[in-house]
Amino acid sequence: MTKIKWLDLILFGAVLVAVSSSGVGMADPHFSAMFVFGDSIIDPGNNNYLNSLAKANYVPYGVDFSEGPSGRFSNGKTIIDYLGDLLEIPALPAYTNPFATGKNILRGVNYASAAGGILEETGQNLGERFSLSDQVQNFEDNLNQLKSQMDDQELSIYLAKALVILIHGSNDYINNYLLPSIFSTGYVYSPKDYADILVKRYTRQILALRNLGLRKFFIGGIGPLGCIPNQLATGLTPPGKCVAFTNEVVRMFNTRLISLVDQLNSNYTGSIYAYGNTFGAFYDILNNSKEYGFSVIDRGCCGVGRNQGQITCLPFSVPCANRNQYIFWDAFHPTQAVNQILARRAYSGPTSDCYPVNVQQMAQM
């Protein structure tokens, strides 16, 4: 048997463990795979293959990434990359990558799409993108491929042991509600009503994934959007202060998301849902930046205009040299140094970070 075939066999055996006669399922506490749904914070390059203005497949993006500008909206790794390292799951292929097929999708797929949101119309100002419902449909496409690689019982065990990561909602504010010149939602809905609509739509797609066989869900909240360079660049707040209104509407969404996690855990036995407190974790980094090794907290390492946040990284622009001291990479996204911290907190953080369990605990359930 060739080396390649042996590797394929080892990979397949690690993912699939048949149910024994005693009824014992998968032998180790690790996840069988990781399926990721989200936006530009965790997009690994899906938008490279779309007709979109929201792309990061050019220098200086990826300046610290082994593959260079892959389409990740960062100088290096995303939260998902670091979480995969902690879980010993290889880098996930982007759904649109031509090689994301067959055995290459056995350890999972990343469906995240820059500018995509919970609402279908979110991000339409930036061109093509995969909304959350599109991403769920893309998972169904991959599910058909997985069905051809294992029998029904194996597939059921495999899906039940897979980790689902959902990080959505930021664009529904940045590229929808907070853009009154393009979208009417800010006029039509109060912040509370808008948050209700988002969570209702979110719930529908989460349950759609559950109906397809997935059982372990880690749902990340929205971070403090009022503190990102793009919001600071509006000049609506004094220097050194975040935009209070933006953070307040985001908190309304997050509060409802926590309630949703409680509701889902109560109503759907056999599944586990966890909330990732991105807002709290990120705010902690901002408020204790020096303890984390950061010296620049209010502007992008790469960008143009006030706070380097009015225009994001332009092709071939020169980023800051001391990137590990910056919290923000560009107008919207954190540096890989922050991504690593957030991934560690999602993996093993206390209940204040991950409620009611963290990713490491979820793997053992």
- Give me the active site residues, please: 40, 330, 333
User: In this structure, what token pair is assigned to residue 65?
Assistant: 């990434």
Among 51, 79, 55, 83, residue whose Cα is nearest residue 312: 55
Instruction: Please name every residue paired with 334 in a beta bridge, in sequence order, or none if there are none.
Output: 328
What is the SS3 assignment for the chain? CCHHHHHHHHHHHHHCCCCCCCCCCCCCCCCCCEEEEECCCCCCCHHHHCCECCCCCCCCCCCCCCCCCCCCCCCCCCHHHHHHHHHCCCCCCECCCCCCCHHHHCCEEECCCCCCCCCCCCCHHHECCCCHHHHHHHHHHHHHHHHCCCCHHHHHHHHHCCEEEEECCHHHHHHHHCCCCCCCHHHHCCHHHHHHHHHHHHHHHHHHHHHCCCCEEEEECCCCHHHCHHHHCCCCCCCCCCCHHHHHHHHHHHHHHHHHHHHHHHHCCCCEEEEECHHHHHHHHHHCHHHHCCCEEEEECCCECHHHCCECCCCCCCCCCCHHHEEECCCCCECHHHHHHHHHHHHHCCCCCEECCCHHHHHCC
Angle made by CA atoms 312, 171, 324, in degrees to the nearest 5: 45
User: In this structure, what token pair is assigned to residue 227?
Assistant: 């503190």
Asked if residues 118 and 169 have their Cβ atoms less than 8 Å apart, the reply is yes
Which amino acid, 312?
Answer: T
In angstroms, the CA 91 to CA 165 distance is 14
- What phi, psi does 125 have (nearest 5°)? -65, -15
